[in-house]
């Protein structure tokens, strides 16, 4: 038997022990990372429910969400992002996942949060959609661009001879320096975010539903993360200090391939040249760091997706994806059982505008894994 208890900061050491047991040593079991994620978020602290064994008092599982602010249809709305969910192996099958989740959702609704969303892995996806009433909005495509085709072929087939056949692609995908005397691309720092709020005010209605990307969010998400290093570039016209776009990248490894991930990318819709220049600068950074592949999650209806594809990115076939990237969504109400009944009502679901994935702007920056 288990009982649900509200997480307190002093529970962190115990939750870390449980998390290491489940995930091993990684970013998700790092104390500094979790303090950053759970306590420093400008949208508010995490809401966490823990399951405790009523006899031994041992932690049996956890359900975690963090607040996220959105601009949706001309108003600010507050949502929660589901992450870091786990149940200890010996407690599986006892309804901990669904029991804790319902408690968190009711708590979130009572505190004014309107919806929960997430990017579940294949193991947790059925629990969200079949047991918790989440709607599957669709998948965010993974866009890929070779940076070093010869190295990619050699790594996959293990033959230098076959790798030499990739030479024409090596030339085709070479990242050439691109510049424009009218614009300046420059590194953004935590101490130089003065133009972010003005930029966000200008582009916040570019898409109907967007996570709020103001200076507080950018600083927290990309500069204060203790576990990851990001490369961030901004761009402005030569005769102006006004920011007209930014791009965020990270060097990592995906399935043994040295990769550059484009974590976030947003440009002023009236200046498409800014997107091309930002992307070129980041790709040059990836090449200079000897990365073999560039990747990005970007929805196809966005201007940023079109810029990526115009610069050599292609949609990864589903069969070759490391995993699918579904977006799941659930509207919250104080009465969880009542909400589940509403979710079954197709008319009500059709009337919820947030169910339309082609109204969203989502990148890797809108969740926690990259």
Residue-wise DSSP of 40-107: --TT---EEEEEEETTT--EEEEEEEEEEEEEETTEEEEEEEEEEEEE-GGGTTSSHHHHHHHHHHHH
> How far is residue 173's CA from residue 282's CA, in Å, rounded to a whole number?
15
Give this prediction's pTM. 0.92
pLDDT of residue 79: 98
> How far is residue 288's CA from residue 267's CA, in Å, rounded to a whole number?
24
| Interval 183-221: pLDDT, tens | 999 999 998 898 999 999 999 999 999 999 999 999 999
What percentage of the chain carries pLDDT values higher than 90? 79
In this structure, whether the domain defined by 2-138+326-366 belongs to CATH 2.40.10.120 is answered with no
pLDDT of residue 192: 85
Mean pLDDT score across all residues of the chain: 91
Tokens encoding 159? 């033959």
Tokens encoding 308? 């990526």
pLDDT of residue 344: 53
Query: What is the CATH superfamily name and number for domain 142-320?
Result: Gcn5-related N-acetyltransferase (GNAT) (3.40.630.30)
E strand or H helix at 38: helix 31-39
Query: Distances in Å between the alpha carbon of 293 and those of 171, 201, 368?
Result: 15, 33, 21
Question: Poorest-confidence range of 240-249, 266-275, 319-328?
Answer: 319-328
pLDDT of residue 340: 55
Tokens encoding 5? 């208890």
Using alpha carbons, select from 195, 187, 273 the residue that is nearest to residue 232.
187
Using alpha carbons, select from 128, 28, 3 the residue that is nearest to residue 84.
28
Classify 233 as helix, strand or coil. Answer: strand
Banded pLDDT at 138 (limits 50, 70, 90): very high
pLDDT of residue 237: 96
Residue extents of the structural domains in the chain: 2-138+326-366, 142-320
pLDDT of residue 151: 79
pLDDT of residue 368: 81
| Interval 64-99: pLDDT, tens | 999 999 999 999 999 999 999 999 999 999 999 999
| Interval 97-124: pLDDT, tens | 999 999 999 999 999 999 999 999 998 9
Question: Poorest-confidence range of 43-57, 164-178, 184-198?
Answer: 164-178
Q: Where are the beta strands (DSSP E) in the chain?
A: 2-6, 47-53, 59-72, 75-87, 115-118, 135-139, 142-146, 183-187, 209-211, 231-237, 243-254, 257-267, 293-297, 314-315, 326-331, 360-361
What percentage of the chain carries pLDDT values higher than 70? 91
Give yes or no on whether 2-138+326-366 and 142-320 have one common fold. yes
Q: Kindly compute the dihedral angle of the four CA atoms of residues 10, 52, 369, 304, in this order, to the nearest 10 degrees.
A: -100
pLDDT of residue 346: 47
Q: Are the CB atoms for 37 and 368 separated by under 8 Å?
A: yes
pLDDT of residue 307: 98
pLDDT of residue 159: 53
Of 101 and 256, the one with more pLDDT: 101
Classify 145 as helix, strand or coil. Answer: strand
> How far is residue 231's CA from residue 128's CA, in Å, rounded to a whole number?
34
Sign, CA torsion 14/19/25/29: negative
| Interval 283-295: pLDDT, tens | 999 999 999 999 9
pLDDT of residue 343: 54
> How far is residue 208's CA from residue 136's CA, in Å, rounded to a whole number?
19
Residues 6+ apart with CB under 8 A from 317: none
Crossing angle of helices 336-344 and 96-110, in 10° steps, is 100
Classify 324 as helix, strand or coil. Answer: coil
Residue 177 has φ and ψ, to the nearest 5°, of -65, 135
Average pLDDT value for residue range 131-139: 96
Residue 205 has φ and ψ, to the nearest 5°, of -105, 15
Average pLDDT value for residue range 272-298: 97
Residues 6+ apart with CB under 8 A from 24: none
pLDDT of residue 149: 83
Banded pLDDT at 156 (limits 50, 70, 90): low
> How far is residue 318's CA from residue 322's CA, in Å, rounded to a whole number?
9
Q: Are the CB atoms for 283 and 260 separated by under 8 Å?
A: yes
């Amino acid at each position: 038997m288990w009982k649900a208890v509200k997480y307190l900061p002093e529970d962190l050491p115990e939750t870390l022990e449980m998390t290491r047991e489940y995930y091993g040593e990684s970013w998700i079991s790092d104390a500094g990372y979790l303090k950053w994620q759970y306590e420093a978020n400008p949208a508010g602290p995490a809401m966490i429910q823990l399951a405790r064994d009523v006899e031994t008092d041992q932690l049996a599982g956890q359900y975690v969400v963090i607040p996220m602010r959105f601009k949706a249809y001309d108003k600010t709305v507050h949502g929660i992002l589901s992450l870091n969910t786990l149940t200890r192996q010996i407690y599986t099958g006892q309804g901990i996942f669904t029991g804790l989740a319902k408690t968190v959702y009711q708590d979130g609704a009572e505190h004014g949060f309107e919806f929960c969303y997430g990017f579940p892995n294949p193991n947790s996806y059925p629990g969200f959609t079949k047991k918790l009433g989440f709607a599957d909005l669709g998948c965010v495509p993974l866009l890929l661009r070779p940076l070093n085709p010869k190295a990619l072929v050699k790594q996959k087939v293990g033959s230098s001879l076959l790798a030499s056949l990739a030479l024409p692609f090596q030339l085709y995908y070479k990242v050439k320096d691109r510049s424009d005397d009218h614009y300046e691309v420059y590194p953004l720092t935590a101490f130089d975010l003065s133009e972010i709020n003005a930029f966000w005010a200008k582009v916040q209605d570019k898409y109907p539903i967007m996570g709020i990307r103001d200076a507080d969010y950018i600083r927290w998400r990309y500069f204060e993360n203790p576990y990851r290093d990001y490369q961030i570039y901004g761009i402005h016209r030569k005769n102006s200090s006004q920011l007209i776009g930014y791009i965020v990248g990270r060097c990592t490894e995906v399935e043994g391939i040295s990769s550059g991930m484009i974590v976030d990318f947003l440009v002023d819709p009236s200046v498409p040249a800014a997107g091309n220049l930002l992307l070129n600068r980041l790709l040059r950074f990836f090449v200079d760091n000897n990365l073999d592949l560039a990747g990005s999650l970007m929805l196809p209806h966005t201007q940023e997706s079109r810029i990526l594809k115009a610069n050599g990115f292609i949609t990864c076939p589903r069969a070759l994806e490391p995993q699918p990237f579904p977006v799941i969504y659930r509207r919250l109400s104080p009465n969880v059982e009542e909400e589940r009944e509403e979710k079954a009502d197709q008319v009500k679901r059709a009337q919820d505008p947030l169910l339309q994935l082609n109204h969203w702007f989502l990148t890797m920056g809108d969740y926690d894994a990259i």
